[in-house]
């Protein structure tokens, strides 16, 4: 039999594999791979736990966000209603104040008219009396004039007292 390089490669391969088996290298590799597999499984479990926690936190924060959004909408609606109510109240108060001032001014105008009418009557009566005095003094003699003057003066005074009251 001819011993060539292929034979020696085959023999060295068999010796190498048997050395590996003798040194329990496949078991050590298997054990190392199993440990790595277990650590990867643990990391995956931890990642899934973190994922679940993140989902629950996300859901919790979304619920809080939705609640706060709803609360903000409620506050805005309430503020709108309050502002509309305030505007209406202010407008009503303004119109009530204007009506009150209008009534007060009308009352003052009425008083001024009445006072003016009384003054005009008094002036007219005074002018009439002076006119009558002048007329009587220029048209009738002195004795008749005194009688008529006294009589008319008493009538005018009576009329003035009745008008003034």
Q: How many residues comprise the chain?
A: 165
- So what's the pLDDT on residue 134? 75
Contacts of 145 (CB under 8 A, 6+ apart): 136, 137
> Is 133 within 8 Å of 145 (Cβ atoms)?
no
Residue of 83, 157, 152, 37 lying closest to 165 (CA atoms): 157
Distance of CA 6 to the CA centre of its chain: 97
Q: Is the distance from CB of 93 to CB of 128 less than 8 angstroms? A: no
Q: What predicted TM-score, i.e. pTM, was given to this entire model?
A: 0.42
Residue 136 predicted with pLDDT over 90: no
Higher pLDDT, 140 or 33: 33
* Residue 86 predicted with pLDDT over 70: yes
DSSP structural state of residue 23: T
């Amino acid at each position: 039999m001819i011993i060539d390089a292929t034979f020696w490669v085959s023999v060295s391969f068999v010796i190498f594999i048997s050395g590996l088996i003798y040194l329990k290298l496949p078991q050590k590799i298997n054990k190392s791979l199993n440990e790595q597999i277990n650590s990867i499984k643990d990391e995956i479990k931890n990642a899934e736990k973190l994922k679940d926690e993140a989902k629950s936190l996300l859901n919790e924060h979304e619920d809080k966000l939705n609640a706060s959004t709803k609360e903000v909408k409620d506050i805005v609606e309430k503020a709108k209603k309050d502002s509309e109510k305030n505007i209406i109240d202010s407008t009503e108060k303004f119109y009530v104040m204007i009506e009150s001032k209008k009534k007060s001014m009308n009352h003052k105008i009425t008083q001024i008219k009445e006072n003016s009418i009384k003054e005009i009557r008094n002036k007219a009566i005074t002018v009439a009396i002076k006119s009558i005095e002048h007329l009587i003094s220029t048209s009738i003699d002195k004795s008749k004039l005194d009688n008529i003057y006294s009589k008319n003066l008493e009538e005018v005074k009576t009329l003035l007292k009745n008008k003034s009251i």
